[in-house]
Amino acid sequence: MRRFFRAIAHWVIIGLAGLCTNSTPATAGNSAQGKCDPIYLDIGHTAERYGATSARGKKEYDYNKRFTIELSDKLISTVHFSTEIISGKDKDLSLNQRAKKIRSLRSGIFLSLHHDSVQPRYLSEWSYNGQKHHYSDKFAGFSVFASGRSPAFLKSVVLGQNIGQALVKAGFSPTLHHAEKITGENRPLLNEDIGLYRYDGLAVLKSTRIPAILVEVGVIANRAEEEKLGDPAHRAKIQDAILLGLKQFCSEI
Q: What pLDDT is attached to residue 18?
A: 39
Determine the Cα–Cα distance for residues 35 and 27; give it in Å rounded to an integer. 12
- Rounded CA gap, 148 and 45, in Å? 22
> What are the pLDDT digits (tens) for 141-191?
999 999 999 999 999 999 999 999 999 999 999 999 999 999 999 999 999
Architecture of domain 2-15+35-252: 3-Layer(aba) Sandwich (3.40)
Region for residue 145 given its phi and psi (left: phi exceeds 0; alpha: psi -120 to 50; beta: otherwise): beta
DSSP label at 131?
A: E
Distances (CA, A) of 14 to 90, 141, 156, 209: 40, 25, 14, 22
pLDDT of 59-77, one tens digit each? Answer: 999 999 999 999 999 999 9
Q: Compute CA 243 distance to the chain's CA centroid, rounded to the nearest angstrom.
A: 12
- Cα–Cα distance measured from residue 223 to residue 242, given in angstroms and rounded to the nearest whole number: 23
Rounded to 10 degrees, the C-alpha dihedral 110/242/63/91 comes to -30
> Which whole number is the average pLDDT over 24-41?
62
Give residue limits of the domains in the chain.
2-15+35-252
Q: pLDDT confidence of 252, banded at 50, 70, 90? A: confident
Tell me the pTM. 0.87
In this model, does residue 232 exceed pLDDT 70?
Answer: yes
Q: Listing from the earlier edge strand, what are the strands of the sheet with 83-87?
A: 83-87, 39-43, 109-116, 212-219, 143-146, 196-198, 189-191
